[in-house]
Amino acid sequence: MGMKSLSVAASLLITGGYALAQTNPIIPVVPKTPWKVVLEEVVTIPDSLGTYPRLEELTHAPGSDDAFVLDQNGTIYRFDPYAANPTPQVFLDLNSAVPAGFRTGSQEGLRGLAFHPDFATPGTDGYRKFYTSHSRSAFTGIYFGDGVTPVIYGAPGGVDHDAYVAEWSVNPDGSVDTDSYREILLVGQPRADHNIGQIGFDPTAQPGEDDYGNLYITLGDGGGPNDPSNLAQNTSQPHGSILRVDPLRNGSDPFSLPDNPLRTSDSLTNARNLIYAYGVRNPHKFTVDPVTGNFIFSDIGQANIEEINILEPGANYGWDLREGTWTLNSSNVPGTLPPNHPTDSATYPVAQYDHDPENDGVNGSYAVAGGHVYRGSSVPELTGMYLFGDFGTNPGPIYAVDADDLTQRDDFTDIDQIFGGYLAPLVELTLNTEGDATDKTFLDIVKETNPFIPRTDLRFGIDAAGEIYILSKRDGKVRRISAVIGLLAGDANRDGIVDLLDLSLLASGFDGPGDWGSGDFNADGLVNLLDLSLLASNFGQTSIPQPAVGLIMLTMLSGFRRGA
């Protein structure tokens, strides 16, 4: 266990050890941060379909500082997130722009938006092109715009609706040319849930590199409990997979194939050729860390476990034979992994949590929403932290973990020793809102607008500057993380105490580039004597109430004696 994570892991262990239970496989409680994260309201998106908009994503386009926010009900808005009074303008309304059958529902509608990396590069094939993932009612026609038919995969066992990836072009004046609409991929969906999710390009890939211009497409297992059609482990069809294609037209083909790990031919109708990884249930959110290049995605669980994964080429993430680091039977009972699991074919999560995080015996409605690694400049205390959350019927916890602590492992024999079963040192962020120092949950915050809701339906977004936003489908508000308060300069591991553990982190990175977690407390990009001076000035100070400090220190000392 690295020094960087020791004290957070120690606080995880305070609440108890690991024990296997039907609805509570992980016993420790994720600690809340003694410091606070402040959310500021940026803009309110207009209502749709007679109620609050269902905010699904916030993203940005190459060559623009504008933010683009998706209402799952079909509208994309754009606005300047740093204007004094941002005004959302309609960029595209799929209700009118899709020729026929645009469909919304609990998990249907507008699900993703991705701008080609050459969107702002004149003279390239990707200039002014962008893509959407969305739903249409079945049997409402196929629209290919330029005369090239999309690749079609049917729905096993009967169709509920169709999921599409489509291409659009933008006019020189910035408006969308709705006549450019071109469907490139259709995947029939047997049920209304676990269908198409986010799409996106790798922002770290550079022109000329193999992954430049390749579009990643997330597809759930087609819905229903326990993957009833056995699709996620079946690579002859695309469901329960993450696909990768080059979406630009290729002669008479609607797109072309990169060198994907399961590819055996040039056929676009052989699903193996499109699949980058498989064995997932509902991987509807992902991000790419612009510093490390890690592709981090969330996968919503069924019975007990929510997952955070790192994408690996050709990987099988185990669903529905695995849920997190447990086996799963048809009765939703988790089981211990077999003794040979370190050499099995499954790729396991790098972080996980269960459906009874408070250990109160209630197996609640939980569903993970993947977020982003903070690489902005406004809140240096969070640099390098991966933020994600849960949007089920609960207080809407927002979790954070240092992205460096998301480690791929094979052996979970002693899972209680791997951060109490969480696999990484998670913390739950304590929230404030701008101008109000009261500690709140995200559900508390959303209820200030919509007081009768049982859940947040939170989502995350990121702008061109790397700043992170938190959205909700329940109140139409776009909020941005604007500050951290109560985190002392020198507290590199963010555990509320400036101590020898923090000094060790600073010493490891001294005289080199770094971020807060490696000792850069003045945010100048370097770990040097100025940072050491800041640590020294706060050494021994804490932002944690004293009884809790004593308990954490005792646990840490116990860990040292055990050789942790």
DSSP 150: P
Topology at the third CATH level for domain 98-283: Neuraminidase (2.120.10)
Classify residue 495 by burial, with Cβ atoms within 10 Å: 0-12, 13-18, 19+. Answer: buried
Q: Percent of the chain, pLDDT > 90?
A: 86
CB atoms inside a 10 Å sphere around CB 230: 14
pLDDT at 561: 36
pLDDT band for position 357 (cuts 50, 70, 90): confident
| Section 41-46 average pLDDT | 98
pLDDT band for position 557 (cuts 50, 70, 90): very low
Place of tokens 């109708």: 269
pLDDT per residue as tens digits for the range 11-35: 333 233 323 334 689 999 999 999 9
pLDDT at 14: 29
Phi, psi of 252 (to 5 degrees): -90, 5
pLDDT band for position 543 (cuts 50, 70, 90): confident
In this predicted structure, the answer to whether residue 542 has a pLDDT above a threshold of 60 is: yes
Classify residue 476 by burial, with Cβ atoms within 10 Å: 0-12, 13-18, 19+. Answer: buried
pLDDT at 544: 66
> For residues 241-266, b (16+ Cβ closer than 10 Å) or e, as one string?
bbbbbbbbbeeeebbbbbebebbeee
Place of tokens 């645009």: 102
pLDDT at 554: 38
Rounded Cα–Cα distance for residues 109 and 86 (Å): 26
Distances (CA, A) of 546 to 438, 543, 550: 20, 9, 6
Classify residue 150 by burial, with Cβ atoms within 10 Å: 0-12, 13-18, 19+. Answer: buried
136 within 8 A of 185, measured Cβ to Cβ: no
pLDDT at 363: 65
pLDDT at 20: 35
**Mean of the per-residue pLDDT values of the chain:** 91
| Section 454-471 average pLDDT | 97
Beta partners for 152? 186
Higher pLDDT, 559 or 219: 219
What is the value of pTM for the model shown? 0.92
Dihedral over alpha carbons 348, 336, 30, 367 (to 10 degrees): 60
pLDDT at 106: 93
pLDDT band for position 447 (cuts 50, 70, 90): very high
10-24, 69-83, 165-179, range with the lowest pLDDT: 10-24
Q: Percent of the chain, pLDDT > 70?
A: 92
Residue extents of the structural domains in the chain? 98-283
494 contacts: CB under 8 Å, gap ≥ 6 = 8, 33, 35, 381, 427, 487, 516, 517
Distance spanning both ends of the chain, measured CA to CA: 7
Comparing C-alpha atoms, which of 374, 372, 368 is closest to residue 353?
368
pLDDT at 309: 98
pLDDT at 23: 62
Rounded Cα–Cα distance for residues 482 and 377 (Å): 10
Angle at the Cα of 98 (from 92 to 100), degrees rounded to 5? 150
Comparing C-alpha atoms, which of 280, 261, 365, 378 is closest to residue 323?
280
Tokens of 542: 């804490």
120 contacts: CB under 8 Å, gap ≥ 6 = 61, 62, 63, 64, 127
pLDDT at 545: 56
241-255, 360-374, 452-466, range with the lowest pLDDT: 360-374
Helix (H) or strand (E) holding 245: strand 241-245
CB atoms inside a 10 Å sphere around CB 47: 12
pLDDT per residue as tens digits for the range 113-148: 999 999 999 999 999 999 999 999 999 988 877 889
286 within 8 A of 295, measured Cβ to Cβ: yes
Question: Can you tell me whether residue 5 is helix, strand or coil?
Answer: helix
pLDDT band for position 332 (cuts 50, 70, 90): confident
CB atoms inside a 10 Å sphere around CB 550: 11
114 within 8 A of 130, measured Cβ to Cβ: yes
Angle at the Cα of 94 (from 41 to 101), degrees rounded to 5? 135
Question: Can you tell me whether residue 300 is helix, strand or coil?
Answer: coil
Tokens of 387: 């933020």
Rounded Cα–Cα distance for residues 521 and 15 (Å): 31
Rounded Cα–Cα distance for residues 540 and 366 (Å): 38
What beta strand segments (E) does 391-465 contain?
398-402, 427-433, 436-440, 458-462
pLDDT band for position 514 (cuts 50, 70, 90): very high
Beta partners for 346? 316
